[in-house]
Amino acid sequence: MIDEAFLPFEKIIERMLAFKGEIVDDQAGVRSYIYKCEIESPVEFDVIRDEHGALQIGSTPPLYYIDTSFRPAYHKLRFTAELSESVDGN
Amino acid sequence: MATENTQWQLEDFVDSLVVDLDKTRETLAVKAINKPLSYTVKELALDLNIFPSYDGDRVKFITAQPGQQGASKVTIQLGSITDQQVRATTKIPGAKNDINIDEIEVDKNTKKQLRKLGVSSVGDLKEIEQKNVDLKKVTDNTIDYSALANKIQKSRRDQNRPRVNGVSLSLDENDEPYLLIKGKNLAMDPKFEPVAVVNETLASVMSGSAEEVKIRVTDDHAFGENNEVILTFDPFAVVKLNVKAQ
């Protein structure tokens, strides 16, 4: 099993994209939305094989924020996400 | 702190990565139905700190863990795909009658091969069949397709199991007796004629449909107070009934 501090890789992407993409200022009458975002983050990986022999990729953003001599191995995740067009093409 | 990382081959890692990203795409595709502002992953890259090793046959990698210095770097970059491609290639998971490959009792290698080909359900296999693609050639004959076809049929049948609602003894227009079995999902496979055994003697099946089956009963069947009727509707649906005469 993936270490409990880590999430399956697909969950990391999903959660990073789970933001409210709309910024509304009712007073000013302004409505903006995020149409593209680029995320680059150091991540830690826990790569294990499950009981069926399949490779499971667990990942997490840095867990600790204290500078220590025992340095975590930070890999780098980079991705670009763009606003999906809705079904009716808008 | 994570557990000890295990060694992996690039193929395995990319396979797992792609499967994970497919799941993300499926989730985002569902989310996009109700949520107008949803996002599509266009490009993804991973810079991995790894230690490679070569065993004379294959190159294997192990991901660097905390405290490990001097690792090599491998960059995996997955190219961008357009929204149209996503819509064309991503189906909404869980179609009503579709069967997930994981639900079929096939060996691990077959499942892995099918996953690699992007086949995650019986519906996917059907689409490939309709396009006349010979999967045997694509997979270098590593998949036993006759076994797979049987397993798929069995899974389909498991979803539509036969159900007997009633049995009655009737007479046909020539006053010959027959057993009328009524129910649901009975004889559903037109390629297979149902087989009936009444009191350990083979009986002739006069007609069969999903709703009813008629079985000829003769003196040979010694139809009495307690009777055993075994019905094979198809290779994956066998029913044993105890029929009591009133």
A75, A83, A84: residue with CB nearest B48: A75
Domain B163-244: CATH superfamily is Immunoglobulins (2.60.40.10)
User: Crossing angle of helices B145-159/B122-130, nearest 10°?
Assistant: 120
| Alpha carbon distance B76, B14 (integer Å) | 8
Chain A CA closest to residue B80: A80
Q: What is the pLDDT of residue B246?
A: 72
Please indicate if any CB of chain A lies within 8 Å of the CB of B67.
yes
Is residue A88 scored above 60 in pLDDT? Answer: no
* Contact of B238 with B199, CB cutoff 8 Å: no
How many angstroms separate the CA atoms of B163 and B59, rounded? 55
Tokens found for residue B85:
């491609």
* Confidence at A38, pLDDT banded by 50, 70, 90: very high
What pLDDT is recorded for position B197? 92
**Chain B residues touching A84 at Cβ < 8 A:** 28, 32, 38-40, 83, 86
- Say whether B27 sits in a helix, a strand or coil: helix
A78 part of a folded domain: yes
From the CB of residue B68, how many other CB atoms can be counted at a distance below 10 Å? 15
Distance CA B165, CA B183 (A): 5
Cβ B24–A87 below 8 Å, yes or no? Answer: no
Q: In this predicted complex, what is the ipTM?
A: 0.78
Domain boundaries, chain B: 1-93, 95-159, 163-244
Please give the average per-residue pLDDT across A33-61, as a whole number: 87
Residues of chain A neighbouring B68 (CB-CB closer than 8 A): 73
Q: CB distance from A42 to chain B under 8 Å? A: no
User: Chain A partners of B86 at a C-beta cutoff of 8 Å?
Assistant: 84
Residue A88 lies in a domain: no
DSSP helix/strand/coil, B71: coil
Query: Which of B23, B36, B71 minimises the CB distance to A86?
Result: B36
In this structure, are residues A61 and A42 in contact, taking their beta carbons and an 8 Å threshold? Answer: yes
- The one-character DSSP state at A53 is S
Give the CB-side neighbour count of residue B117, counting CA atoms within 13 A: 24
Work out the minimum CA distance from B120 to partner chain A, whole angstroms. 15
- In A, which residues are within 8 Å of B37 by CB distance? 20-22, 33-34, 83
pLDDT value of position B92: 62
**Do B55 and A62 contact (CB within 8 A), yes or no?**
no
What percentage of chain A reaches a pLDDT higher than 90?
A: 10
Assess B150–A contact: CB distance below 8 Å, yes or no: no
Q: Do B49 and A8 touch (CB under 8 A)?
A: no
A interface test, pick of B46, B50, B101 with most A CB neighbours within 10 Å: B46
Query: Using alpha carbons only, what angle is made at residue A50 by residues B110 and B70, rounded to the nearest 5 degrees?
Result: 115
Judged by CB atoms closer than 8 Å, whether chains meet at A81 and B49 is answered as no
* B210/B227 Cα distance (integer angstroms): 23
Q: Say how many domains are in chain A.
A: 1
A65 or A77, which is more confident: A77
Q: Which of A42-46, A70-74, B35-39, B133-137 has the highest mean pLDDT?
A: A42-46
- The token duo for B89 is 């290639």
Laid out side by side, the sheet with B163-171 consists of B163-171, B177-184, B212-216, B205-208
Q: For chain B, positions 37-66, list CB contacts with chain A under 8 A.
A: 37-49, 62-66
- What is the band of A90 on the pLDDT scale with cuts at 50, 70, 90? very low
Asked if B225 has any chain A CB less than 8 Å from its own CB, the reply is no
Phi, psi of B206 (to 5 degrees): -75, -45
What pLDDT was estimated at residue B3?
Answer: 61
Residue A77 structural domain: 7-63+72-82
Instruction: Report strand pairing: B163-171 vs A75-83.
Output: unpaired
- What pLDDT is stored for residue A89 in this prediction? 46
- For residue A53, being part of any structural domain is answered with yes
How would residue A87 be classed by pLDDT, with cut points 50, 70 and 90? very low
Give strand ranges (E) for A1-90. Answer: 7-8, 22-25, 30-33, 36-49, 55-60, 75-83
Collapsing DSSP to helix, strand or coil, B220 comes out as: helix
- Contact status of B35 with chain A (Cβ, < 8 Å): no
Whether A87 maps to a domain, the answer reads: no
How far apart CA A63 and CA A72 sit, in angstroms, is 9
Strand partners, A49: A55
| CB-CB under 8 Å, A44 with B66 | yes
What percentage of chain A exceeds 70 in pLDDT? 87
- Residues of A in Cβ contact (< 8 Å) with B8: 47, 49, 55
Report the alpha-carbon angle A57-B101-B144, nearest 5: 110
Q: What is the residue-wise DSSP string for B166-213?
A: EEEEEE-TTS-EEEEEEEES-S--TTS--EEEETTEEE-EEEE-SSEE
CA B150 to chain centre: 10
Q: What is the pLDDT along chain B (246 residues), one digit of tens a residue?
A: 456 778 888 888 888 888 888 888 888 888 777 777 778 888 889 999 999 998 876 788 998 887 788 889 989 888 765 666 666 766 665 566 677 777 777 777 777 777 777 777 777 777 777 777 777 777 766 666 667 777 777 887 888 889 999 888 888 888 888 989 999 999 888 888 899 999 989 998 998 888 999 999 888 888 888 889 999 998 888 999 888 877
